[in-house]
Structure 1
Protein backbone atom coordinates (compact mmCIF):
# COMPACT_ATOMS: atom_id res chain seq x y z
CA UNK A 1 0.00 0.00 0.00
CA UNK A 2 2.86 2.36 0.80
CA UNK A 3 4.22 2.01 -2.74
CA UNK A 4 0.87 2.97 -4.23
CA UNK A 5 0.74 6.06 -2.02
CA UNK A 6 4.32 6.91 -2.99
CA UNK A 7 3.31 6.86 -6.67
CA UNK A 8 0.22 8.99 -5.97
CA UNK A 9 2.31 11.74 -4.37
CA UNK A 10 4.88 11.97 -7.18
CA UNK A 11 3.08 14.92 -8.81
CA UNK A 12 3.12 16.66 -5.41
CA UNK A 13 6.87 16.15 -5.14
CA UNK A 14 7.47 17.35 -8.68
CA UNK A 15 5.35 20.49 -8.45
CA UNK A 16 7.31 21.61 -5.42
CA UNK A 17 9.87 22.86 -7.93
CA UNK A 18 7.27 25.27 -9.31
CA UNK A 19 8.08 27.55 -6.39
CA UNK A 20 11.08 28.79 -8.37
CA UNK A 21 9.13 30.01 -11.45
CA UNK A 22 6.48 31.36 -9.06
CA UNK A 23 9.06 33.51 -7.30
CA UNK A 24 10.49 34.64 -10.63
CA UNK A 25 7.02 35.52 -11.91
CA UNK A 26 6.19 37.53 -8.78
CA UNK A 27 9.50 39.41 -8.99
CA UNK A 28 8.95 40.22 -12.67
CA UNK A 29 5.42 41.43 -11.92
CA UNK A 30 6.73 43.71 -9.18
CA UNK A 31 9.41 45.09 -11.52
CA UNK A 32 6.83 45.61 -14.27
CA UNK A 33 4.59 47.52 -11.88
CA UNK A 34 7.50 49.64 -10.69
CA UNK A 35 8.65 50.57 -14.21
CA UNK A 36 5.21 50.72 -15.83
CA UNK A 37 5.74 47.80 -18.20
CA UNK A 38 2.79 45.90 -19.57
CA UNK A 39 4.21 43.62 -22.26
CA UNK A 40 7.55 41.87 -22.02
CA UNK A 41 7.48 40.14 -25.42
CA UNK A 42 4.92 39.98 -28.25
CA UNK A 43 4.76 37.94 -31.48
CA UNK A 44 2.32 37.48 -34.36
CA UNK A 45 1.41 33.79 -34.17
CA UNK A 46 -0.62 32.56 -31.21
CA UNK A 47 1.21 29.85 -29.28
CA UNK A 48 -0.56 27.21 -27.17
CA UNK A 49 -1.17 28.37 -23.59
CA UNK A 50 0.91 31.56 -23.93
CA UNK A 51 -1.04 33.24 -26.73
CA UNK A 52 0.56 36.16 -28.57
CA UNK A 53 2.96 37.38 -25.96
CA UNK A 54 4.12 37.54 -22.38
CA UNK A 55 2.49 40.37 -20.46
CA UNK A 56 1.94 41.29 -16.84
CA UNK A 57 -1.43 39.52 -17.14
CA UNK A 58 0.35 36.40 -18.40
CA UNK A 59 2.51 36.46 -15.29
CA UNK A 60 -0.51 37.04 -13.03
CA UNK A 61 -2.29 34.05 -14.58
CA UNK A 62 0.88 31.99 -14.31
CA UNK A 63 1.06 32.76 -10.59
CA UNK A 64 -2.40 31.48 -9.83
CA UNK A 65 -1.92 28.49 -12.16
CA UNK A 66 1.22 27.50 -10.26
CA UNK A 67 -0.39 28.09 -6.89
CA UNK A 68 -3.41 25.97 -7.87
CA UNK A 69 -1.21 23.13 -9.11
CA UNK A 70 0.88 23.20 -5.94
CA UNK A 71 -2.17 23.28 -3.66
CA UNK A 72 -4.06 20.46 -5.38
CA UNK A 73 -1.16 18.05 -5.85
CA UNK A 74 0.39 19.09 -2.55
CA UNK A 75 -2.88 18.13 -0.86
CA UNK A 76 -2.40 14.51 -1.86
CA UNK A 77 1.17 14.68 -0.54
CA UNK A 78 -0.03 16.18 2.76
CA UNK A 79 -2.75 13.52 3.06
CA UNK A 80 -0.24 10.71 2.59
CA UNK A 81 2.06 12.14 5.27
CA UNK A 82 -0.76 12.94 7.72
CA UNK A 83 -0.05 16.67 7.50
CA UNK A 84 -3.57 17.56 6.34
CA UNK A 85 -6.24 19.23 8.42
CA UNK A 86 -7.88 16.71 10.72
CA UNK A 87 -9.89 16.62 13.92
CA UNK A 88 -7.46 14.60 16.01
CA UNK A 89 -8.17 16.84 18.99
CA UNK A 90 -11.53 15.04 19.40
CA UNK A 91 -10.12 11.54 19.15
CA UNK A 92 -6.75 11.98 20.89
CA UNK A 93 -7.93 10.43 24.18
CA UNK A 94 -9.74 7.50 22.57
CA UNK A 95 -8.31 3.98 22.22
CA UNK A 96 -6.20 3.36 19.12
CA UNK A 97 -8.74 1.07 17.42
CA UNK A 98 -11.49 3.65 17.92
CA UNK A 99 -9.22 6.29 16.37
CA UNK A 100 -8.65 3.97 13.42
CA UNK A 101 -12.42 3.41 13.09
CA UNK A 102 -13.05 7.15 13.06
CA UNK A 103 -10.34 7.61 10.44
CA UNK A 104 -11.92 4.87 8.33
CA UNK A 105 -15.38 6.45 8.60
CA UNK A 106 -13.93 9.87 7.77
CA UNK A 107 -12.16 8.53 4.69
CA UNK A 108 -15.12 6.52 3.38
CA UNK A 109 -18.07 8.70 4.40
CA UNK A 110 -16.66 12.18 4.00
CA UNK A 111 -13.45 12.27 1.96
CA UNK A 112 -14.21 9.71 -0.75
CA UNK A 113 -17.67 11.08 -1.67
CA UNK A 114 -16.25 14.63 -1.62
CA UNK A 115 -13.48 13.56 -4.02
CA UNK A 116 -16.03 11.84 -6.27
CA UNK A 117 -18.22 14.96 -6.41
CA UNK A 118 -15.30 17.29 -7.14
CA UNK A 119 -13.98 14.86 -9.76
CA UNK A 120 -17.39 14.65 -11.47
CA UNK A 121 -18.01 18.38 -11.56
CA UNK A 122 -14.35 19.21 -12.19
CA UNK A 123 -14.34 16.95 -15.22
CA UNK A 124 -17.34 18.72 -16.77
CA UNK A 125 -15.85 22.09 -15.75
CA UNK A 126 -12.63 21.31 -17.67
CA UNK A 127 -14.51 19.75 -20.59
CA UNK A 128 -16.73 22.83 -20.96
CA UNK A 129 -13.62 25.00 -20.94
CA UNK A 130 -11.99 22.82 -23.61
CA UNK A 131 -15.09 22.75 -25.84
CA UNK A 132 -15.53 26.52 -25.65
CA UNK A 133 -11.84 27.26 -26.26
CA UNK A 134 -11.77 29.33 -23.08
CA UNK A 135 -8.77 31.57 -22.62
CA UNK A 136 -7.88 34.86 -21.08
CA UNK A 137 -9.82 37.87 -22.32
CA UNK A 138 -7.27 40.32 -20.94
CA UNK A 139 -3.99 39.11 -22.43
CA UNK A 140 -3.17 36.38 -19.92
CA UNK A 141 -2.72 32.66 -20.51
CA UNK A 142 -4.86 30.76 -23.00
CA UNK A 143 -6.20 27.18 -22.97
CA UNK A 144 -7.78 27.42 -19.52
CA UNK A 145 -8.91 23.79 -19.80
CA UNK A 146 -5.36 22.73 -18.96
CA UNK A 147 -5.43 24.29 -15.51
CA UNK A 148 -9.04 23.31 -14.95
CA UNK A 149 -8.17 19.68 -15.72
CA UNK A 150 -5.87 19.71 -12.69
CA UNK A 151 -8.97 19.73 -10.46
CA UNK A 152 -10.37 16.31 -11.46
CA UNK A 153 -6.88 14.81 -11.75
CA UNK A 154 -5.88 15.99 -8.27
CA UNK A 155 -9.09 14.85 -6.64
CA UNK A 156 -8.92 11.49 -8.42
CA UNK A 157 -5.46 11.01 -6.91
CA UNK A 158 -6.74 12.07 -3.50
CA UNK A 159 -9.71 9.69 -3.80
CA UNK A 160 -7.41 6.81 -4.72
CA UNK A 161 -5.20 7.70 -1.75
CA UNK A 162 -8.29 7.64 0.49
CA UNK A 163 -9.22 4.17 -0.80
CA UNK A 164 -5.68 2.89 -0.25
CA UNK A 165 -5.58 4.34 3.27
CA UNK A 166 -9.04 2.89 4.03
CA UNK A 167 -7.83 -0.57 2.98
CA UNK A 168 -4.70 -0.21 5.12
CA UNK A 169 -6.75 1.07 8.07
CA UNK A 170 -9.21 -1.82 7.74
CA UNK A 171 -6.28 -4.24 7.78
CA UNK A 172 -4.90 -2.56 10.88
CA UNK A 173 -8.28 -2.74 12.64
CA UNK A 174 -8.72 -6.43 11.78
CA UNK A 175 -5.18 -7.36 12.83
CA UNK A 176 -5.16 -9.02 16.26
CA UNK A 177 -4.08 -6.73 19.07
CA UNK A 178 -0.52 -7.35 20.27
CA UNK A 179 -0.37 -9.20 23.57
CA UNK A 180 1.65 -7.97 26.47
CA UNK A 181 4.31 -10.65 27.08
CA UNK A 182 5.06 -9.38 30.60
CA UNK A 183 1.69 -10.68 31.92
CA UNK A 184 2.75 -14.28 31.27
CA UNK A 185 5.87 -14.35 33.39
Structure 2
Protein backbone atom coordinates (compact mmCIF):
# COMPACT_ATOMS: atom_id res chain seq x y z
CA UNK A 1 0.00 0.00 0.00
CA UNK A 2 2.88 2.36 0.73
CA UNK A 3 4.11 2.04 -2.85
CA UNK A 4 0.69 2.96 -4.23
CA UNK A 5 0.57 6.05 -2.01
CA UNK A 6 4.11 6.99 -3.01
CA UNK A 7 3.11 6.82 -6.70
CA UNK A 8 -0.11 8.77 -6.15
CA UNK A 9 1.71 11.66 -4.45
CA UNK A 10 4.56 11.82 -6.96
CA UNK A 11 2.94 14.69 -8.92
CA UNK A 12 2.53 16.57 -5.63
CA UNK A 13 6.24 16.25 -4.95
CA UNK A 14 7.15 17.44 -8.43
CA UNK A 15 4.81 20.42 -8.61
CA UNK A 16 6.28 21.96 -5.49
CA UNK A 17 9.00 23.32 -7.77
CA UNK A 18 6.39 25.29 -9.69
CA UNK A 19 6.33 27.81 -6.87
CA UNK A 20 9.58 29.25 -8.26
CA UNK A 21 8.14 30.12 -11.70
CA UNK A 22 5.03 31.37 -9.89
CA UNK A 23 7.14 33.84 -7.91
CA UNK A 24 8.99 34.88 -11.08
CA UNK A 25 5.70 35.36 -12.93
CA UNK A 26 4.27 37.53 -10.13
CA UNK A 27 7.44 39.65 -10.06
CA UNK A 28 7.39 40.10 -13.85
CA UNK A 29 3.71 41.04 -13.76
CA UNK A 30 4.35 43.69 -11.10
CA UNK A 31 7.35 45.02 -13.04
CA UNK A 32 5.34 45.10 -16.28
CA UNK A 33 2.50 46.97 -14.59
CA UNK A 34 4.93 49.49 -13.15
CA UNK A 35 6.71 49.99 -16.48
CA UNK A 36 3.51 50.05 -18.56
CA UNK A 37 4.39 46.95 -20.59
CA UNK A 38 1.76 44.65 -22.02
CA UNK A 39 3.59 42.28 -24.37
CA UNK A 40 6.97 40.73 -23.62
CA UNK A 41 7.38 38.69 -26.82
CA UNK A 42 5.20 38.19 -29.91
CA UNK A 43 5.48 35.86 -32.92
CA UNK A 44 3.47 35.16 -36.09
CA UNK A 45 2.44 31.51 -35.76
CA UNK A 46 0.33 30.45 -32.76
CA UNK A 47 2.10 28.00 -30.47
CA UNK A 48 0.31 25.41 -28.33
CA UNK A 49 -0.69 26.86 -24.94
CA UNK A 50 1.13 30.19 -25.50
CA UNK A 51 -0.78 31.39 -28.57
CA UNK A 52 0.88 34.31 -30.41
CA UNK A 53 3.00 35.71 -27.63
CA UNK A 54 3.77 36.22 -23.97
CA UNK A 55 1.84 39.10 -22.44
CA UNK A 56 0.91 40.28 -18.97
CA UNK A 57 -2.31 38.30 -19.42
CA UNK A 58 -0.25 35.21 -20.22
CA UNK A 59 1.58 35.65 -16.92
CA UNK A 60 -1.69 36.20 -15.05
CA UNK A 61 -3.11 32.97 -16.50
CA UNK A 62 0.13 31.17 -15.73
CA UNK A 63 -0.16 32.24 -12.09
CA UNK A 64 -3.58 30.74 -11.58
CA UNK A 65 -2.63 27.63 -13.59
CA UNK A 66 0.35 27.03 -11.32
CA UNK A 67 -1.66 27.76 -8.19
CA UNK A 68 -4.36 25.27 -9.26
CA UNK A 69 -1.80 22.57 -10.04
CA UNK A 70 0.02 23.05 -6.73
CA UNK A 71 -3.24 23.10 -4.74
CA UNK A 72 -4.74 19.99 -6.34
CA UNK A 73 -1.65 17.77 -6.44
CA UNK A 74 -0.33 19.20 -3.18
CA UNK A 75 -3.65 18.30 -1.57
CA UNK A 76 -3.13 14.64 -2.43
CA UNK A 77 0.37 14.84 -0.96
CA UNK A 78 -0.98 16.48 2.22
CA UNK A 79 -3.69 13.81 2.51
CA UNK A 80 -1.14 11.01 2.31
CA UNK A 81 0.99 12.59 5.04
CA UNK A 82 -1.97 13.43 7.28
CA UNK A 83 -1.36 17.17 6.91
CA UNK A 84 -4.80 17.86 5.45
CA UNK A 85 -7.64 19.54 7.27
CA UNK A 86 -9.46 17.06 9.50
CA UNK A 87 -11.90 17.27 12.36
CA UNK A 88 -9.78 15.63 15.06
CA UNK A 89 -11.52 17.59 17.82
CA UNK A 90 -14.37 15.05 17.73
CA UNK A 91 -12.15 11.99 18.01
CA UNK A 92 -9.17 13.20 20.05
CA UNK A 93 -10.24 11.60 23.35
CA UNK A 94 -11.66 8.40 21.87
CA UNK A 95 -9.98 4.98 21.77
CA UNK A 96 -7.74 4.30 18.76
CA UNK A 97 -10.12 1.78 17.16
CA UNK A 98 -13.01 4.27 17.35
CA UNK A 99 -10.78 6.93 15.77
CA UNK A 100 -9.91 4.51 12.98
CA UNK A 101 -13.59 3.68 12.49
CA UNK A 102 -14.43 7.37 12.20
CA UNK A 103 -11.60 7.87 9.70
CA UNK A 104 -12.82 4.89 7.66
CA UNK A 105 -16.39 6.22 7.73
CA UNK A 106 -15.23 9.67 6.59
CA UNK A 107 -13.11 8.24 3.77
CA UNK A 108 -15.82 5.90 2.47
CA UNK A 109 -18.93 8.03 3.00
CA UNK A 110 -17.64 11.55 2.35
CA UNK A 111 -14.28 11.57 0.59
CA UNK A 112 -14.70 8.79 -2.00
CA UNK A 113 -18.12 9.93 -3.26
CA UNK A 114 -16.85 13.52 -3.40
CA UNK A 115 -13.82 12.40 -5.46
CA UNK A 116 -16.09 10.38 -7.77
CA UNK A 117 -18.43 13.33 -8.35
CA UNK A 118 -15.60 15.79 -9.00
CA UNK A 119 -13.87 13.27 -11.30
CA UNK A 120 -17.09 12.67 -13.26
CA UNK A 121 -17.98 16.31 -13.75
CA UNK A 122 -14.35 17.40 -14.07
CA UNK A 123 -13.85 14.94 -16.91
CA UNK A 124 -16.78 16.35 -18.90
CA UNK A 125 -15.67 19.88 -18.00
CA UNK A 126 -12.21 19.24 -19.50
CA UNK A 127 -13.62 17.32 -22.47
CA UNK A 128 -16.01 20.18 -23.32
CA UNK A 129 -13.09 22.59 -23.17
CA UNK A 130 -11.02 20.35 -25.45
CA UNK A 131 -13.83 19.85 -27.97
CA UNK A 132 -14.58 23.56 -28.15
CA UNK A 133 -10.93 24.58 -28.46
CA UNK A 134 -11.34 26.89 -25.48
CA UNK A 135 -8.59 29.41 -24.94
CA UNK A 136 -8.06 32.86 -23.61
CA UNK A 137 -10.01 35.64 -25.29
CA UNK A 138 -7.81 38.36 -23.83
CA UNK A 139 -4.30 37.33 -24.87
CA UNK A 140 -3.60 34.81 -22.11
CA UNK A 141 -2.83 31.12 -22.34
CA UNK A 142 -4.57 28.88 -24.86
CA UNK A 143 -5.65 25.22 -24.61
CA UNK A 144 -7.63 25.59 -21.39
CA UNK A 145 -8.44 21.89 -21.46
CA UNK A 146 -4.90 21.21 -20.19
CA UNK A 147 -5.48 22.99 -16.90
CA UNK A 148 -9.05 21.75 -16.64
CA UNK A 149 -7.85 18.15 -17.02
CA UNK A 150 -5.89 18.59 -13.79
CA UNK A 151 -9.20 18.51 -11.91
CA UNK A 152 -10.25 14.93 -12.76
CA UNK A 153 -6.65 13.69 -12.64
CA UNK A 154 -6.06 15.20 -9.20
CA UNK A 155 -9.32 13.88 -7.77
CA UNK A 156 -8.71 10.43 -9.26
CA UNK A 157 -5.36 10.38 -7.45
CA UNK A 158 -7.03 11.57 -4.25
CA UNK A 159 -9.65 8.82 -4.63
CA UNK A 160 -6.94 6.21 -5.07
CA UNK A 161 -5.20 7.54 -1.95
CA UNK A 162 -8.51 7.37 -0.05
CA UNK A 163 -9.14 3.77 -1.13
CA UNK A 164 -5.60 2.84 -0.16
CA UNK A 165 -5.97 4.51 3.23
CA UNK A 166 -9.35 2.82 3.76
CA UNK A 167 -7.82 -0.60 3.10
CA UNK A 168 -4.95 0.20 5.47
CA UNK A 169 -7.41 1.45 8.10
CA UNK A 170 -9.47 -1.75 7.84
CA UNK A 171 -6.25 -3.70 8.40
CA UNK A 172 -5.45 -1.59 11.46
CA UNK A 173 -8.96 -2.13 12.88
CA UNK A 174 -8.90 -5.89 12.30
CA UNK A 175 -5.30 -6.44 13.41
CA UNK A 176 -4.40 -3.73 15.92
CA UNK A 177 -1.42 -5.67 17.34
CA UNK A 178 0.28 -5.87 13.91
CA UNK A 179 0.09 -2.11 13.39
CA UNK A 180 1.33 -1.42 16.93
CA UNK A 181 4.44 -3.51 16.24
CA UNK A 182 5.20 -1.75 12.93
CA UNK A 183 4.72 1.74 14.36
CA UNK A 184 7.00 1.07 17.33
CA UNK A 185 9.92 -0.01 15.13
> Shorter-chain TM-score category?
over 0.9
| 1:147 lines up with 2:147 in the alignment | yes
Tell me the equivalent position of 2:182: none
Consecutive aligned runs of 4 or more in structure 1 exceeding 3 Å deviation: none
Secondary structure in structure 2 of the residue aligned to 1:42: strand
Cα deviation, residue 28, structure 1: 0.3
Match of 2:131 in 1: 131
Alignment pair present for 1:64 and 2:64: yes
Secondary structure of the 1:40 match is: strand
Q: Return the offset for 1:177.
A: 4.5
Distance (whole Å) between structure 1 residues aligned to residue 87 and residue 25 of structure 2: 36
Report which of the two structures shows the higher radius of gyration computed on alpha carbons.
Answer: 1
In the alignment, structure 1 segments of 5+ residues that lack a partner are: 179-185
Displacement of 1:116 after TM fit?
0.1
Q: Structure 2: 5+ residue runs without aligned partners? A: 179-185
CA deviations on 1:21-79 (whole Å, 9 max, x unpaired) are: 00110000000000000000000000000000000000000000000000000000000
Q: Please provide the CA RMSD for this pair.
A: 0.8
2:104 is matched with 104
1:77 and 2:77 equivalent?
yes
State the distance in 2 between where 1:104 and 1:2 align: 17
| Deviation of 1:3 (Å) | 1.2
Q: Find the residue that maps to 2:42 and give its secondary structure.
A: strand
Q: Secondary structure of 2:17's match?
A: helix
Residues 111-152 of structure 1, C-alpha deviations (whole Å, 9 max, x = no match) = 000000000000000000000000000000000000000000
Q: How many residues align?
A: 178
SS in structure 2 of the partner of residue 43 of structure 1: strand
Q: CA deviation at 1:86?
A: 0.3
CA distance in 2 between partners of 1:89 and 1:18 (Å)? 34
TM (norm. structure 2) is 0.95
Once residues 113 and 42 of structure 1 are traced to their aligned partners in structure 2, the CA distance between those partners, rounded to angstroms, is 45
Quote the Cα distance in structure 2 between the aligned partners of 1:146 and 1:10: 19
In the alignment, the residues of structure 2 paired with residue 68 and residue 134 of structure 1 have an alpha-carbon distance, to the nearest angstrom, of: 18
